[in-house]
A and B are shown apart, each in its own frame.
Chain A
Amino acid sequence: MAHLRKTGDAVFSKVEKVNSELFSLTYGAIVTQLLKDYEEVDATNEQLEKMGYNIGIRLVDEFLAKAQISSCQNFSETAEVIAKVGFKMFLGVTAEVTNSNASEFSLQLTDNPLAEFVELPEQYSQLSYSNMLCGVLRGALEMVQMRVECTLTKDALWGDDVTELRVVLKELMDEEYKDDDE
């Protein structure tokens, strides 16, 4: 998948950048404000996912337009494109695809720019800090006719070696025209 890496590097050099500290501090401010407002971890996780979804349904067009992506032949290719081009373009890092088959895959991040300075306190040990990424993937894939479920299965903040997102394909939404009278 060397050509995908190249595409990722090329589009990363083209897009505008922001200071990574500003980025991770802004994200931190969002998460802590949600924790204050919702007062519990589960509701915060859910809200982060929803916010991510709303970002994903818009972000996908920028991704397709600027990286000039054409349609993928199968779900494994989708995984590679997200890992090598999508993550590179928007976060500046690439992910590793593991446990990939026709209907699911995992994305592993060794470097998570969202959580650069974060240590989870004990009362928030169940917090899916980077849950917004799950929402972004769900929103973006839904716009290209793939309904998926995405969960944060490992997190460096929980003591795991890597941060891992599990993506499961639920349905391919076929938009082909079907004649009702048949």
Chain B
Amino acid sequence: MPLLSLYINNKAGGLIYHRDFASHAAELDVNEHLRLASTFNGLALILKELSPAKRSSKMELLEADSFVLQSFDTLTGLKFFVTADPDSKKLDAVLREVYELYSDFVLKNPFYETDMPIHCERFDEKLIKLAEDYQRR
């Protein structure tokens, strides 16, 4: 059960990282990915406002016939979200692992500017490995 795509949004809701893991991931161009990511950011926030329960979190899970989307907000305001085939399990754990990788291989790179798009090769490598491991689980 492979992961499809991973997105990371910054505090302002702008896309700073995107990667596809499977050949059947949505085929979109760069602008469409940007639009999609910031739309999801707004949508998750609106759903939080719609919640009847006070202090509800933002939207965390979206399920459809052909895919699921799991989202994870950090206390620092970042949003990590991943799409995967339906019935994929433990996607929240995957996102927590991605957060750890981000804190190691992105933030510890002194030349990475926070809130800017991520171009870190070692981060890419670790993510690809994580996605491969997930598929074997």
Contact = CB atoms under 8 A, between A and B. Distances in A.
Interface string B28-67: 0000000000000000010001000000000000000000
Interface of A: 57-62, 64-66, 68-71, 143-144, 175, 177
B76 A61 contact: yes
Contacts, number: 42
B126 to A, nearest CB: 13
B77 A62 contact: no
A65 B102 contact: yes
A24 B114 CA distance: 27
Interface stretch (B82-90, B103-111, B128-136): B103-111
A144 B75 contact: yes
Contacts of B102: 61, 65
B103 A175 contact: no
A46 to B, nearest CB: 21
A68 B76 contact: no
Contact of A71 (B75, B77, B100): B75
B99 interface: yes
Nearest to B109: A58
Nearest to B107: A58
Contacts of B104: 62
Given A66-B100, A68-B96, A61 B107 contact: yes
Interface of B: 45, 49, 74-78, 96, 99-100, 102-104, 107-108, 114
B3 to A, nearest CB: 19
B77 A61 contact: no
By DSSP majority rule, is chain A's interface helix, strand, loop, or mixed?
helix
A66 B103 CA distance: 9
A59 B114 CA distance: 12
25 contacts: A57-B114, A58-B107, A58-B108, A58-B114, A61-B74, A61-B78, A61-B99, A61-B107, A62-B100, A62-B103, A62-B104, A62-B107, A64-B74, A64-B103, A65-B96, A65-B99, A65-B103, A66-B100, A66-B103, A68-B96, A70-B75, A144-B76, A175-B77, A177-B45, A177-B49
A167 B73 CA distance: 27
A69 B75 contact: yes
Contacts of A61: 74, 76, 78, 99, 102-103, 107
Given A61-B99, A62-B103, A144-B76, 19 more contacts: A59-B107, A60-B76, A61-B74, A61-B103, A61-B107, A62-B107, A62-B108, A64-B75, A65-B74, A65-B96, A65-B99, A65-B100, A65-B102, A68-B96, A69-B75, A70-B75, A143-B76, A143-B77, A144-B75
